Structure 1
Amino acid sequence: MTAPVTLLMAVHSHQPIGNFGFVFEEAYAKAYEPFLRVLERHPQVRLALHYSGCLLDWLTEHQPAFLDRLCQLVATQQVELLASGYYEPILPIIPEADRQGQIAKMRQTLWKSFGAEGPGLWLTERVWEPELPATLARAGIRYTMVDTNQFAIAKSWLPGAMQVHDNEFWDLLGCYSTESAGASTILFPASKRLRYWMPFQAVERTIDFLRRLQREEPVAITFADDGEKFGLWPKTYHWVYDEGWLDQFFAALERERGWLRTTTFSDYLKTTPPNGTVFLPAGSYEEMLEWSGGHFRNFFTKYPEAYAMQQKMLRVSRTLEELTAKNGRTDLLGRATQELYAAQCNCAYWHG
């Protein structure tokens, strides 16, 4: 007797702060709105969504009805909203106090706008460093997603039954606990296979792969990737919406509910403990590691102007911290801190 397979999905949407208005408009028309429209037609499909603070600010001003629709999906528990640093910073390269401030701002926004707690975190560019569990635990974050390749160094220590190999991909099932300074968080390994296949391969190929994951015990696999690939990336709108890939995929998930389930990460954790504890080195997704020479901070060597900007950002952060300690949190210092957070948006610190 085989047990069900759970597909956990997280879809992340972001536009850089200060991006052109027409880019926001195009992304909304081709990706964000049609994705939500298709999801609304399939109420049995549950997943996690993340919208960066930069994008939420634009949506609040230009598309408030979209946020009302999203709020309804949160209310019915079809969607779980993920937190993050508000302005999408690379968390390891900003000070701890700013990490806490950015995450708190996002969680406060999610609660005020959607009644959502934001218990999980979208890790910007999936850039992981070993001290992050303490940061996340302090911020009230229970879980995040990192790419499967980041677990490769511990492959021989991980349960064999939770690994899936073939000539092209290595998948890791379930989730794992990790910790630093006595604080723990849960890591969901995000499948490179699903990142490459969805939405570019036929629906049935993905469904057939998920069917092959069935075991005597329940298992779960995680998909986590950008929302822009569902319509904004070149040539994807026609395939995803005109040809109906997304509608067909969600329909297949509903049709196969006897053995294939979708749920939110929080609900999954209510019934399923981590497979074990693992300690990961600094890393990111494979392509990012290739571009950066194995470590995100190498961009500061590759691009001296990015390094100079980061060092200036750190000086401004220290100055604001000193002024706040001396004078208290005045309105002026509060506004300056928000400008600092905006300047920590990741997009200018690397070629992304």
Structure 2
Amino acid sequence: MSTIHHALVLNLHQPPGNLEFLLDHNPWEAKEILYAYDRIPRSLWGYEDVGRVHLSLSGTLLETLSSPEFQQRVYGMVDCGSLLWQLQNQSIIEILGTGYYHPVLPLIPVVDREDHLHRWQGVAKHLFWREQFNGFWPPEMGFSMELIPLLQQAGYRYVLVDSEHVEPVSPMRWEELRYRPHIARHGDAEIVVIVRDRDLSDAQESGMEFGWFENELIERTRWCDFEPLVTTCTDGENGGWFRNTTEGSNFWTCFYLELMNQARGGGRIRPTFISDYIERHGVHSEVRVREGAWNTGWHHGRDFTQWTGSQLQKDALARLHAVSATFHRLREGAIAGEDHDPADWHALTEAQWRLLRAETSCNFYWGEEWVHRAHTDLDAVETALQPLLARPQPERSLPT
């Protein structure tokens, strides 16, 4: 019987200012979240031979955890500086790249996507002391094929996508499609696609015993004539399964500890890094990925319904695109006109980060509850740009 390789992927994200808000208004929930983060490296200590976890940390979460003021405030609950240091351990943790403000990338203006990727890499390279991140986690697993050139240009080797949106270019069996890496192409660009098993990920999110998981993997991969890669992806700090602080009653001490012990004892399921699997087993086929996201709550992830379902959400997204177009027109004009006025560039810098923050997925996810947050930041963008907008704009000559 062949080895079954398991890639565990956890998404860690907090909206801007959320942990600070919870500390003021619901301190126990803030502690649960911080303990969930701190539990990750602690659970892997002493298991460097078998422990393998992929983590995606949004830029806003990294911004909070690395803030001296925040670190001082929560010291005694969690030592955030030590936590960030422990997450650098490449024997047990592979850090995945993502978008800084956690946007659903296919929903935001094309011209803003690169800024999210570059901004995240800027802070992550500093905090994790490395220049290269092999894998990319699309926030909310929101993916479209047109992202491939951007991800390749940013240096990513593979991207995580949800199983419900993957279809083969050439015929292949169900287990081949789900449990092997594939190539996806857009124009001349290509990237390796790693398929998240939606059913097993749902179980990981809600809670499961190792015995059930082991049996399920054996049955699902029974007809594989290759060593399969089974990938499960969920949030890593939401829900009682990850937040429970009782020993033996959470994901790490009830489930993953037994998985590591079984792997150390010669069990069939072996935790693995995706990069290591690709190096050893390669990539064998091509797929297309339909536009979509992962499933959340009662939503299936198709058509990005979670973020575009109401008219208020649609209106906010439309305004976001309009404000973004204005910002980029003014910035390009400043560059072309060789504007050296510090006040202008201060205004453009202020407008840019507010624009990117307005694109945070959470602003659009909670029905209509947080849409006002996007508008607040877009108001700030327009205020910052007002001095530039008030000036006469150079006329553009018509093409002949």
- Percent of matched pairs sharing the same residue: 22
Q: What is aligned with 2:200?
A: 194
Secondary structure, in 3 states, of the residue corresponding to 2:287? coil
Which of 74, 89, 92 aligns to 1:78? It is 92
Task: Verify the 8 A CA contact 2:292 2:303 in the aligned structure 1.
Answer: yes
Task: Verify the 8 A CA contact 1:42 1:250 in the aligned structure 2.
Answer: no
Q: What is aligned with 2:214?
A: 207
Q: What is aligned with 1:263?
A: 272
In the alignment, the residues of structure 2 paired with residue 188 and residue 25 of structure 1 have an alpha-carbon distance, to the nearest angstrom, of 32
> Residue 37 and residue 316 in structure 1: after superposition, are their counterparts in 2 closer, same or farther (change >3 A)?
same
| Map 1:1-352 → 2, pairs under 5 A | 2-19=1-18, 20-22=21-23, 25-43=30-48, 44-61=50-67, 62-63=70-71, 65-116=79-130, 117-151=132-166, 153-154=167-168, 157-160=171-174, 162=176, 172-198=178-204, 200-212=207-219, 213=221, 215=224, 217-229=226-238, 233-234=239-240, 237-238=243-244, 241-243=247-249, 245-257=251-263, 258=266, 259-287=268-296, 290=299, 294-296=302-304, 299-300=307-308, 302-328=309-335, 330-351=345-366
Task: Verify the 8 A CA contact 1:48 1:79 in the aligned structure 2.
Answer: yes
TM-score by length of 2: 0.75
Q: What is aligned with 2:372?
A: none
Question: Bigger shift: 332-341 or 61-70?
Answer: 61-70
In the alignment, the residues of structure 2 paired with residue 63 and residue 207 of structure 1 have an alpha-carbon distance, to the nearest angstrom, of 39
In the alignment, the residues of structure 1 paired with residue 297 and residue 191 of structure 2 have an alpha-carbon distance, to the nearest angstrom, of 23
Question: Bigger shift: 270-279 or 241-250?
Answer: 241-250
In the alignment, the residues of structure 2 paired with residue 26 and residue 263 of structure 1 have an alpha-carbon distance, to the nearest angstrom, of 30
For 1:201, give the aligned amino acid.
M
Q: Which has the larger radius of gyration?
A: 2
Give CA-to-partner distance per residue, 1:168-220, whole Å, 9 cap, x none.
xxxx2021110112111111111123212226121211123334436553221
In the alignment, the residues of structure 1 paired with residue 53 and residue 316 of structure 2 have an alpha-carbon distance, to the nearest angstrom, of 36
Deviation at 1:279, TM superposition (A): 1.0
In the alignment, the residues of structure 2 paired with residue 78 and residue 103 of structure 1 have an alpha-carbon distance, to the nearest angstrom, of 24
Secondary structure, in 3 states, of the residue corresponding to 1:339? helix
Task: Verify the 8 A CA contact 1:126 1:285 in the aligned structure 2.
Answer: yes
Give the root-mean-square deviation of aligned CA atoms. Answer: 2.8
Task: Verify the 8 A CA contact 1:149 1:286 in the aligned structure 2.
Answer: no
In the alignment, the residues of structure 2 paired with residue 145 and residue 327 of structure 1 have an alpha-carbon distance, to the nearest angstrom, of 37
For 1:306, give the aligned amino acid.
Q
In the alignment, the residues of structure 2 paired with residue 320 and residue 245 of structure 1 have an alpha-carbon distance, to the nearest angstrom, of 44
Task: Verify the 8 A CA contact 1:150 1:285 in the aligned structure 2.
Answer: no
For 2:229, give the aligned amino acid.
A
Give CA-to-partner distance per residue, 1:311-330, whole Å, 9 cap, x none.
22222222222222222393
* Structure 1 unaligned residues grouped into runs of 5+: 164-171
> Residue 139 and residue 211 in structure 1: after superposition, are their counterparts in 2 closer, same or farther (change >3 A)?
same
In the alignment, the residues of structure 1 paired with residue 194 and residue 324 of structure 2 have an alpha-carbon distance, to the nearest angstrom, of 32
Secondary structure, in 3 states, of the residue corresponding to 1:187? strand
Task: Verify the 8 A CA contact 1:47 1:78 in the aligned structure 2.
Answer: yes
TM-score by length of 1: 0.85
For 2:202, give the aligned amino acid.
Y
Question: Bigger shift: 104-113 or 32-41?
Answer: 32-41
Give CA-to-partner distance per residue, 1:100-143, whole Å, 9 cap, x none.
11001111211111123222111111122221212211222221
In the alignment, the residues of structure 1 paired with residue 114 and residue 237 of structure 2 have an alpha-carbon distance, to the nearest angstrom, of 27
